[in-house]
Amino acid sequence: MAKRMKEKNERNSSKLILNIFMVLVFLALVGGVFYLSPNYIREDYDGKTKVLINNNNVTLKMKNDVYIDDNNNVFLSLEDVENYFDKYIEYNEETGEILTTSEINIAKMSTKNNIITINGEDEELNSSAIEKNDTIYLPFSEISEKVYDVDLEYIGDTNTIIIDSLDRKQEVINTTSETKLKYKPQTLSRTLKKIEANEQLIYIEETDNWIKVRAKDGTIGYVKKEDLGNVEVTRKDREYINKVDGKINLVWDYYSEYVDAPDRAGETMDGVNVVSPSFFSLTRGSNGEIYNNAEDGGTEYIKWAHDNNYQVWAMFSNNSLKDTTSQILNDYDKRETMIENLMNLVEEYNLDGVNVDFENMNESDKNVYSRFLIELAPRLKKIGKTLSVDVTAPDGSETWSLCFDRNTIADVADYIVFMAYDQYGTSSNKAGTTAGYNWVETNIKKFLGQEDVDPEKIILGIPLYMRLWEEKEDGTAKPEIVNMKDMFDVLPANQVATWDEDLKQYYVEYEKDGNKYKMWVENEQSVGEKINLANQYNLAGIAFWEKDRETNDEFWTFVKEQLNK
């Protein structure tokens, strides 16, 4: 009896072990299936045209179907062009006009005719933009390279569109033997197609012993590294502007329209690499015409700057003419005229860039001001010139602060210049500092945070002046601008200054002839603290308002040393 029970228990144990083994095998098979199943996902686009943009398959992300006419002309919807090529594209339903920009081009076209205007030049297209199923479509295969600087290829056999940006690096690699293009970088992965020996493929990236490539027909997959030769660069990344070496150290060189450009012969500024002379401005009633303040002495000034390896970013000011600025900004033809006039001046004087300084604008003109910059930026990039734009601190008055869309400006311009001064300005009737450290830092954080501006786009503007405030009995105060170099000529002798750790400035207060005076001092120490902020937050550089307010030539050496710490 005991023997039979033992045999029965042994059989049950063996059966249990077998069952456990079978379960483990089943689980392993299930795991294998789950591991390998992505290799067998069938691409099903439900009749859609396959679209590859810079080696990314965006077919199922397109907002509308691609339209291809009987002549194999490719049309993309305005929504998809906006999504992938120009987020600032505009369509006027009433006129049928479309305004679109790329990195280096601005174009105007219409649904009502075949004329396209690219960078101010008209030409005729084979097809206009069209409306189909309540959707606007652009003749993309015809304008792809002209406007967007991309190459488009339509492969009818596989119903595939391949779009490559011509300003991006492209690499190719050749097969050394017949091989297979795999869905995933695994030997057991599904074979997408066979590749012949010595076939050229577009190199995408390397993954362990596999390389991700794109075949001629647009199929993207993986090939064993051992079956491929060396990578060759067929196109390099394009640099649009002549970039400044290292951190930007800019000095505005202001002079009025009533005098000649300053004669700087024999002068040098140690460490400075950009000068911004006040060459161009608007005049009252302008319809896009620009006053040229470089005619007298400007050519000599530019030669001096270039001889000393300073780039010249000419200032273009609106002279705070709010009404004139508004009239131009709200009229596309006037904006276009202004841009054309500015471009002619930039090329005539062989400038390195433009510093746009529009101030005192309507808050309601914020978007059209951005539109002006959106349309100007590609024209300057096309010829390798830099665009910088001056703005004030966020969250101020309507005409001084709220008139700027800093995020858009920073996006389209090469640099956005934060004029970090006039915390307490000429219009204030309360005494205060021109640029306190804590105020400057708070606003840098706003640029980086609420305005979402990349730090490498921001140039920090620093004042070379301060204000002497005469305080009256009723608590109001009257300011007088004092240049840094003139501070000791203004302050009475033997004045005691106290250091304010929050403002990181010296403060002076005294009485004279029965009146109380206050001054928050800008000197090398306070300037150095602001330069440290630019370094701490990895900003693009600094800018000084303005030339000839500094103490002496040694000041620029001090700035260079601080900036390069």
Distance between CA 361 and CA 110 in Å, rounded?
31
38: pLDDT strictly greater than 60: no
Strand partners, 464: none
φ, ψ of residue 271 to 5 degrees: the values are: 90, -20
Q: What are the tens digits of pLDDT across the range 365-423?
A: 999 999 999 999 999 999 999 999 999 999 899 999 999 999 999 999 999 999 999 99
Asked whether this chain's domains 50-165 and 170-235 adopt the same fold, the reply is no
Tokens 């057991």 appear where? 188
Q: What are the tens digits of pLDDT across the range 329-374?
A: 999 999 999 999 999 999 999 999 999 999 999 999 999 999 999 9
Query: Which of 360, 269, 371, 350 lies closest to 323 in space, CA to CA?
Result: 360
φ, ψ of residue 161 to 5 degrees: the values are: -110, 125
Residue 23 banded pLDDT, cuts 50, 70, 90: low
Q: What are the tens digits of pLDDT across the range 248-276?
A: 999 999 999 889 999 999 999 999 999 99
Beta strands in 440-522 (DSSP E): 458-463, 465-471, 477-483, 498-500, 505-512, 515-521
CATH topology of domain 170-235: SH3 type barrels. (2.30.30)
Distance between CA 293 and CA 557 in Å, rounded?
30
Dihedral sign for Cα 510, 516, 517, 518, please: positive
Do 250 and 269 meet the contact criterion of CB atoms below 8 Å apart? no
User: Would you list the domain boundaries of the chain?
Assistant: 50-165, 170-235, 248-463+523-563
Do 65 and 78 meet the contact criterion of CB atoms below 8 Å apart? no
Strand partners, 543: 250, 461
pLDDT on residue 45: 73
Distance between CA 214 and CA 224 in Å, rounded?
13
Q: What are the tens digits of pLDDT across the range 283-319?
A: 999 999 999 999 999 999 999 999 999 999 999 999 9
Tokens of 348: 């005539």
Residue 565 banded pLDDT, cuts 50, 70, 90: confident
Residue 395 gets the label, from left (phi > 0), alpha (psi -120 to 50) or beta, of left
Assess whether the previous peptide bond of 239 is cis (omega < 30° from 0).
Answer: no
pTM for the full predicted model: 0.92
Q: Which CATH architecture has domain 248-463+523-563?
A: Alpha-Beta Barrel (3.20)
Do 509 and 471 meet the contact criterion of CB atoms below 8 Å apart? no
CATH topology of domain 50-165: Copper Amine Oxidase; Chain A, domain 1 (3.30.457)
Do 169 and 202 meet the contact criterion of CB atoms below 8 Å apart? no
Distance between CA 261 and CA 113 in Å, rounded?
47
The three-state secondary structure class of 166 is coil
